[in-house]
Amino acid sequence: MAQPERSFMRGTLALSIAAFINRILGFISGMFVARVLGAEGIGLLMMAHPLVPLVITITELGLPVAISKLVAEAQAQGNRNKIRRILHVSLVVTGALSVTLTAVSLLGSHWIASLLLSDKRAYYAMIAITPIAPIVAVSAVLRGYFRGIQQMRTIAASDVLEHTVQIACVLALVHVLMPYGVAYAAAGAMAASVLSEATGLLFLFASYKLRGEQKTAGETWAAHLKQGKGTLSELLKIGLPTTGQGVVQSLYGAFQPLLISTSLAMAGISTALATKQFGLLAGYAFPLLFMPSFITQSLSTALVPAIGEASANKNGLLMHERMNQALRLGLLIGAPATVILFVWATPLTTLIYGSPEAGMLLKILAPIFFLHYFDAPLHAILLGLGRASATLWNFTAATAFKAVSIFVFGSQFGIVGVAFGIGVGIVMQTLLNFFSISGSIGIYVPIQPYIKVGICMTFMALCGQVIMDFMTSELGLSQLWSVIGSIALALLLYFVALLTSNTLHWKITRHTIGIRW
């Protein structure tokens, strides 16, 4: 295996491990905050939070993705001067935007609170989180730089450090401020996010300094900015479509609850029942469906600069090798996840949420959601190829189609129709991205591994169902242990089937023993 490929996969592995650790840390932090603040305090947090993602989306201008691609290309060409120019231009643009928007938010905080906050006590939490925008903006530029040079372990370490500090600050601030009232405690929880982001930024800045980038004679900030018009144009060519996609996603996210409730009302479902069904879908089914995708998201982060570097070197063979590698990893992760979420749908929602009725929605969406595990890599490939505008139009078209499908199917078939409508959107977005890549450079996918994995999936599903029934009826185990035991044995059988069918095989070298496709 070539060195660049090893670097790509090691970066993906580092980000995946960090993402897994961060999910655990986030769960612990969220559980503590929920227990201490209660429903009232969580409500204040939720009221104060929605404005932040929009501000961050605007201040970043999609530059982190653009930076990672352009830095990877510049590094492939050995152009260190351009790398520093990209950093300087990006820092000036995002810094100026974030400071301006933060100042406007602070000066107009009372007006914003009166307009957006139904509970005035959320004002303190809103003020506490506002300073995060400049910190996130500068941090995003440095993250883009480290992605571009494919130093994913630095980003992974920063993420873990950031989440660790956040837990410590949340524990301390909420404990100290709770005696003064739930509003101040909620503000403390928000302030903890700011402190953790600042810690992550300091770590990234120190890591950048330790790299000891050598400057050329006469190289200054002013010189870079004078020559930065072309660089800014390159950055915005990728960044603006990414920002547009973020805005479309935010607007659709705000509009979706109204769309679903309206379609359910037209199906003759009462408001109270419609709210409950929406909660089953968004609060119970979606978190389980999205849980395995942290690996494909990590893969996508590493894939953008990897494709960008191969494209800059005009190495078509390496591009297609990385594309196939990414799609196969999506297949390897998505296949058992889909089987588990389909076969064990009702037991999982019963054990985790105490809601067996959510299992039906999970079972409907699980097979369709299989394509979602390919969508993130496909999206990253398009960005790596510099086709950010295609990702924007594909996402917009798929979102519009999804909205229409939800309304049409939901008004006819209720919450089941809503689930199918969401599935239609997932299918369309994945196919549009696939055809966009195929139209650009072509996709050459060996079909045999996919057929083999499909057979192994079927084998895993059948064996898993039989094992669970045996553990429950014959061994008399509780539902918890039947689910855990049957999933573990089914995964083992799936893995053995992959090895037996030669879909995966052992790779033994002098220094390592591993598995490869």
293, 364 Cβ separation under 8 angstroms: no
Is residue 511 classed as helix, strand or coil in its secondary structure?
coil
Q: What is the pLDDT of residue 505?
A: 59
Other Cβ atoms closer than 10 A to 136:
23
| Tokens coding 187 | 């503000």
**pLDDT of 48:** 67
Q: Could you give the angle at the alpha carbon of 359 between the alpha carbons of 409 and 289, nearest 5°? A: 80
Can you say how many angstroms the Cα of residue 158 is from the centroid of all Cα atoms in its chain?
17
The SS3 assignment for 506 reads strand
Q: Please tell me the distance from the alpha carbon of residue 107 to that of residue 104, in angstroms, as a whole number.
A: 5
The predicted structure's pLDDT at residue 398: 93
Q: Give the pLDDT of residue 213.
A: 63
Contact 148, 234 (CB under 8 A): no
Specify the pLDDT at position 2: 44
Distances (CA, A) of 98 to 44, 54, 55: 24, 12, 8
Integer Cα distance of 178 and 512 in angstroms = 52
| Residue 310 near residue 432 (C-beta atoms within 8 A) | no
For residue 215 the two structure tokens come to 């400057």
DSSP element (H, E) containing 317: helix 316-343
Q: How many CA atoms lie within 13 A of 59 on its CB side?
A: 32
| CB-based contact 478:488 (threshold 8 Å) | no
Max CA pair span of the chain: 79
Count of CB atoms within 10 A of residue 408's CB? 15
Contact yes or no for 54/191 (Cβ under 8 A): no
pLDDT score recorded for residue 487: 92
Residue 362: closest CA among 295, 297, 283, 429: 283
Annotate 39-93 with DSSP letters as a single string: HHHHHHHHHHSTHHHHHHHHHHTTHHHHHHHHHHHHHHTT-HHHHHHHHHHHHHH
340 — alpha (psi -120 to 50), left (phi > 0) or beta? alpha
Confidence at residue 258, expressed as pLDDT on a 0 to 100 scale:
78
Q: In order along the chain (517 residues), what is the average pLDDT of each group of 10 residues?
A: 56 77 74 68 66 72 80 80 83 84 80 67 79 86 84 86 88 86 84 90 89 61 62 79 79 77 84 75 80 77 78 79 81 89 91 84 90 86 84 91 91 88 90 88 78 90 91 85 92 90 59 43
Q: How many residues does the chain have?
A: 517
Read off the tokens for 56. Answer: 């961050």
How far apart are alpha carbons 486 and 339 in whole angstroms? 12
The pTM assigned to this predicted structure is 0.73
Element (H, E) at 352: helix 345-353
Per-residue tokens: 474: 């014959």
* Domains of the chain by residue range: 1-240, 268-445, 447-514
The pLDDT value recorded for residue 514 is 41
* pLDDT at residue 515, as a whole number: 44
Radius of gyration of the chain, Cα coordinates, nearest whole angstrom:
24
